[in-house]
Amino acid sequence: SLSDRLSGVFDKLRGRGALSEDDVRGAMREVRVALLEADVALPVARDFVDQVTERAVGAEVIRSVTPGQMVVKIVNDALVEMLGAETAELHLDVNPPAVIMMVGLQGSGKTTTTAKLAKRLSERERKKVLMASLDVARPAAQEQLAVLGRQTNVDTLPIVPGQTPVQIAQRALQSAKLQAYDILLLDTAGRLHVDDQLMAEMKAVAAASNPVETLLVVDSLTGQDAVNVAKGFAGEVDLSGVILTRMDGDARGGAALSMRAVTGKPIKFAGTGEAIDALEAFHPSRVAGRILGMGDVVSLVERAAETVKIEDAEKLARKMEKGKFDLDDLRLQISQMQRMGGLGALANMLPGMKGMKGAANVDEKALTRLEAMMSSMTAKERQRPDIINAKRKIRIAKGSGTTVQEVNKLLKMHLEMSNAMKRLKKLGGFGKLASMFN
Ligand code: GDP
Ligand code: MG
């Protein structure tokens, strides 16, 4: 597995700190093999690895995880992002009927998926749905959809022999309008391969029916082949999304990444079986886990990152509990605070400081300016802020490129913070705070 391979690469690396270019390149060779084993198309795998390498070099390794585990987490996050961070929805808010056109090769699962989607839309979303088969190439195709329609309680367009796909599409649209259907699903014909005739037919049907969604149905088990199919369709038809079928098979999910990369369109659903309700919203994070086969490592790193945050917060709390809180402390803690979501977030976590205006309004840029002001102070000024008189304030403002007003604000904030800390100490200290993190 990728886990074994990566631990091999990183056995010699016990260091901490940032990931070096060499660390990352070694790991990425293994990641590339894992992607190819998961059936990701070669050019897609190559592009992906290049992107992630750039992102990973220089990344900090979180305490208590290995560099290898850190790389896996970075790869995983990039995969999820590339697969589409969230579940993609259908866009059906148009003047009804909203036309959904299903395209794809023969045997990809178009007809089955059309019925699955129709059932989902009529049952879950309470839509009035009409299905029509435009497949005149295969004798039993239209009857197949009619059977599925009876099975799912979804209406199908009555079969009229001898019509062309475009004629059927026009008749379906007219019926849907007259009978006030919300949604019209068009199941188109497929071929064994992408060819000019098929594309001409898809374009003519699209022109006649003006679909809001044109969904490419692809068999996830066909792996590298699926990429060529997707390229063929994406170049000719205006796709709005992809449905991957047979995700219940031994597909390792690689087709999903390839489809997304090649079409640039979101994967909207996954077919997970022959049964009529075996259709699921596509979940990028689950599929990323499947591609890498590293779900455990990812959650391990997420937990470790949480722990580091908690440890930092506790350290800060202990320090402040000692009652000493000068501007040096404030300065030292700023970077930690930034990691914890800024001073405002920290202020809201501390009971005594909740709602304290000064701290809650500090944003990222302001933290940088605070740091500049404190750098312009002398060590003595930082330890004893009360000696900072008007003359010193002018000097500090000049030295830091800020204003006297801002220096005043900083001093006021520090005063409020140390007062809040004294109050807190009286209330029983930070024990309460620490327990909030557990
Ligand atoms: P079409 O030629 O594209 O219309 O494909 P069909 O809808 O007729 O499906 C071909 C075969 O694939 C049928 O036996 C379906 O039951 C099967 N099929 C479709 N989707 C899935 C799926 O998600 N999982 C599994 N296991 N089989 C599927
Ligand atoms: Mg079919």
pLDDT in tens, 108-164: 999 999 999 999 999 998 999 999 999 998 879 999 999 999 999 999 999 999 999
- Tell me the CATH number for domain 2-85: 1.20.120.140
Residues 6+ positions from 123 with CB-CB distance below 8 Å: none
3-state helix, strand, coil in the chain (%, to 5): 60, 10, 30
Averaged pLDDT of the chain: 82
Higher pLDDT, 38 or 159: 159
Size of the chain in residues: 438
39 is in an annotated binding site: no
Q: What is the pLDDT of residue 164?
A: 95
Q: What is the pLDDT of residue 337?
A: 58
Residues 6+ positions from 70 with CB-CB distance below 8 Å: 19, 59, 61, 62, 301
Centroid of ligand 2 to alpha carbon of 276 (angstroms): 14
- pLDDT higher than 60, residue 333: yes
Superfamily grouping for domain 98-285: P-loop containing nucleotide triphosphate hydrolases (3.40.50.300)
342 is in an annotated binding site: no
Q: Is domain 299-436 in CATH 1.10.260.30, yes or no?
A: yes
For ligand 1, atom 20, name the residue with the nearest CA: 109
CA distances to 43, 167, 294, 347, 419 from 350, rounded to whole Å, are 51, 69, 37, 5, 13
Higher pLDDT, 209 or 363: 209
pLDDT in tens, 76-86: 889 888 888 66
Q: Which listed ligand is nearest to 105 at the C-alpha?
A: 1
Task: Verify whether ligand 1 is closer than 6 Å to residue 246 (CB atom).
Answer: yes
Q: What is the pLDDT of residue 183?
A: 98
279 is in an annotated binding site: no
- pLDDT higher than 70, residue 233: yes
Higher pLDDT, 260 or 250: 260
| Nearest atom, ligand 1, residue 249 CA | 26
The total of other beta-carbon atoms located within 10 Å of residue 131's CB is 29
Residues 6+ positions from 141 with CB-CB distance below 8 Å: 111, 133, 135, 189
- pLDDT higher than 80, residue 325: no
Task: Verify whether ligand 1 is closer than 6 Å to residue 273 (CB atom).
Answer: yes
Task: Verify whether ligand 1 is closer than 6 Å to residue 240 (CB atom).
Answer: no
Task: Verify whether ligand 1 is closer than 6 Å to residue 220 (CB atom).
Answer: no
Q: What is the pLDDT of residue 416?
A: 81
Task: Verify whether ligand 1 is closer than 6 Å to residue 138 (CB atom).
Answer: no
Every domain of the chain and the residues it spans: 2-85, 98-285, 299-436
Task: Provide, rounded to the nearest whole percent, the portion of the chain with pLDDT above 70.
Answer: 77
Higher pLDDT, 318 or 388: 388
